[in-house]
Structure 1
Amino acid sequence: MADVVTTPARAGGSYVEWSAVFAGGLAASAISFVLLTAGAAVGLSLVSPYGAESYPKTAATIAVFWSIAVPILSFLVGGYIAGRMRHAWADASSEEVQFRDGMHGLLVWALGIFIAAMLAAMATGGAVRTGTSVASGAMSNESVAIAPVIDTMFGAATPALPNTEAPGTPPAAAAEAGVRASVLDADARAMVARTLVAAAGEGKLSAAQKRTLAEIVSARTGLTQAEAERRVDQAFTDGMEAIETTREAAVLVALVTVTALLIGLLAAWYAAKNGGRHRDANIPARLVLSFTPTRRSPL
């Protein structure tokens, strides 16, 4: 007796139903946006310029928890919608149906991340960042981290501005000279920041870098060369600590984000499989919990 080969009803066709995937992905993105907005509002309510009304540690703890909980909840809902809205298949075993439902949850997860990445790219003004721009961004973050260190290194001294009250000085010329002084000071601060960041990357401050920075500090503060060098040494030590703190914070944010997204993937897969099971078993979807009242026995 010859074997009979059964041809699936959808041979050659795609088993991916993009309408269900897009429905789940859009729902997950919308829920994530709403919950993150609410979390930002709660976080801002816990931070205040008044010490008695500010709870920064509590706000940081809630931020970490919320960053993990929001993707999980969003992808749970999005995956369930995709699995529930997909058409039923009669040409596959239950294990194959569960796998296909789970794959729809994975696609919801991928679509949600793609939408979030596109929104982030639009917010920053570019869709793709090259290696050079990434490196520039990292150096910019380090420069921001050591900005207070540079302020301390220069002390309370400010660059000498022209005397606008001097007789015979035209107001326009005085204003132009003041602008030039400010620009020169900004350039000097930028050079100091670049030098400190470069030295931090090498792990040490060379003699030439130390001498150059000390000359700049001495010229703008009136300190002697030896005193300026001591300030430079202290600024380098403080700058290394500030950059290390910034690096640790960036690593923590990256780890929390990756953990939340990976758990969100598992949540979307699990929810899509359950959505498909509820669809095939005709289990009604309930948005509210129903409670059966209990009768009290008469006294």
Structure 2
Amino acid sequence: MALNTPPGVTVIDTAPAPVAESSYVDWPAIIAGIVLATAISLVLISFGSAIGLNFVDFHGRDGAPVWLVGIGAALWFLWIQISSFMAGGYLTGRLRRRKFDATADESDLRDGAHGLLVWGGAMIFGAALAVGGIGALGSAVGSAATTAATAMAADDSTPNDYFVDTLFRASIPVDPGVARDEALRIYAQSALTDGEISTEDRSYLVGLVASTTALPPAEAEARVDQVNATIAEARATALEAARVARNTGILAAFLIAASSLVSAIGAFWAAQKGGNHRDENTVHAGVFRRF
């Protein structure tokens, strides 16, 4: 609007120049919350692993029932996630620089959103660590499997050696080394199917044992049956361990998903509480004081 000013009078416009609005996201506060949440979770997970509260080995405490240790590990992990994310969310809400351009409700929402960003950032960081650990574990398992496969066969054996051996079973070898290598290949072949040795292979093994140990046929047959029973028992134990590990993995995945959702709510609430304490200049004199 034009102003009519007397001659010789100058009007100076003192309206502030428009200032570009910066982002409402306070990344330094978010990073601080992620660091705190990660540090707390690592410390508590290490402590829990030291006393056997982990999903890797439920027999960490001798004499304790497996189900009791499992429940304890689940509750401990739930506590770790919720407490660490709430601590990180509170710190972020307390450190966030508030822009006084919104109502108190809007400020609470922004504080809570920063808590969710702490939760999301820590989850991504934890997932990256977990993927690295799974990769290392997979390499170790692959190495162990290769070693076990090598131990079950001769050094220079190939998958076709078992079938080649069947071409020359007209006579029993008398060399103990040759007999041992052939017996290893027979058991390796049975492990690829259902773990059962065919009647033909069993009879041949009895002949191998009898010819190389000079045992009577009855004693050689009893020795082969004993070894077969021991291998079958070990196989059953391994299958049961695999079943338990699979079920444990399913339960652990469900627990992680459920606790992650609960911890997201906790981080949102704690960040709002930290923002309220920031605005009210709340001092926890009983915990933090000047010395």
Please give the range of the TM-score, normalised by the shorter of the 2 chains: 0.5 to 0.7
**Correspondence for 1:214:** 198
The 3 A distance-change label for structure 1 pair 236 and 122 is closer
Q: Is the 8 A contact 2:115 2:271 kept in 1?
A: yes
Structure 2: state its 5+ residue gaps. 1-17, 146-172, 207-220
The 3 A distance-change label for structure 1 pair 13 and 161 is farther
Distance 1:272 1:187 in 2: 64
Give the drift of 1:114: 1.8
**Correspondence for 1:181:** 181
**Correspondence for 1:31:** 40
Q: How many positions carry a matched residue from both structures?
A: 219
Q: Is the 8 A contact 1:25 1:108 kept in 2?
A: yes
Distance 1:279 1:70 in 2: 25
Distance 2:245 2:45 in 1: 23
**Correspondence for 2:268:** 269
Name the SS of the counterpart of 1:117 in structure 2: helix
Q: Is the 8 A contact 1:28 1:112 kept in 2?
A: yes
Amino acid at match of 1:181: D
Distance 2:109 2:174 in 1: 73
The 3 A distance-change label for structure 1 pair 221 and 274 is farther
> Which of 61, 64, 77 is the equivalent residue of 1:55?
64
Q: Is the 8 A contact 2:52 2:60 kept in 1?
A: no
Amino acid at match of 2:263: G
Q: Is the 8 A contact 1:79 1:268 kept in 2?
A: yes
Distance 2:267 2:114 in 1: 8
Give the drift of 1:246: 3.6
Q: Is the 8 A contact 2:51 2:60 kept in 1?
A: no
Q: How does 1:288-299 map to 2 (within 5 A)?
A: 288=287
Amino acid at match of 2:277: H
Identity of aligned residues (%): 31
Distance 2:234 2:282 in 1: 66
The 3 A distance-change label for structure 1 pair 34 and 215 is farther
Distance 2:31 2:200 in 1: 59
**Correspondence for 2:95:** 85
Give the drift of 1:193: 5.3
Amino acid at match of 1:16: V
**Correspondence for 2:111:** 101
Give the drift of 1:48: 6.7
Give the drift of 1:275: 0.5
The 3 A distance-change label for structure 1 pair 253 and 125 is closer
> Which of 2, 20, 30 is the equivalent residue of 1:21?
30
The 3 A distance-change label for structure 1 pair 40 and 221 is farther
Distance 1:115 1:281 in 2: 32
Q: Is the 8 A contact 1:88 1:279 kept in 2?
A: no
Give the drift of 1:186: 7.8
Normalized against structure 1, the TM-score is what? 0.57
Normalized against structure 2, the TM-score is what? 0.59
Q: Once the two structures are superposed, what CA deviation does each residue of 1:258-280 show, in whole Å capped at 9, x if it has no partner?
A: 11111111111110011011111
CA RMSD of aligned residues (A): 4.5
Q: Is the 8 A contact 1:98 1:273 kept in 2?
A: yes
Q: Once the two structures are superposed, what CA deviation does each residue of 1:142-185 show, in whole Å capped at 9, x if it has no partner?
A: xxxxxxxxxxxxxxxxxx9964xxxxxxxxxx6xx79x939x84
Distance 1:269 1:86 in 2: 14
Name the SS of the counterpart of 1:43 in structure 2: coil
The 3 A distance-change label for structure 1 pair 194 and 68 is farther
Give the drift of 1:121: 2.8
> Which of 64, 73, 76 is the equivalent residue of 1:66?
76
Structure 1: state its 5+ residue gaps. 1-8, 141-159, 164-173, 197-208, 291-299
Give the drift of 1:60: 2.3
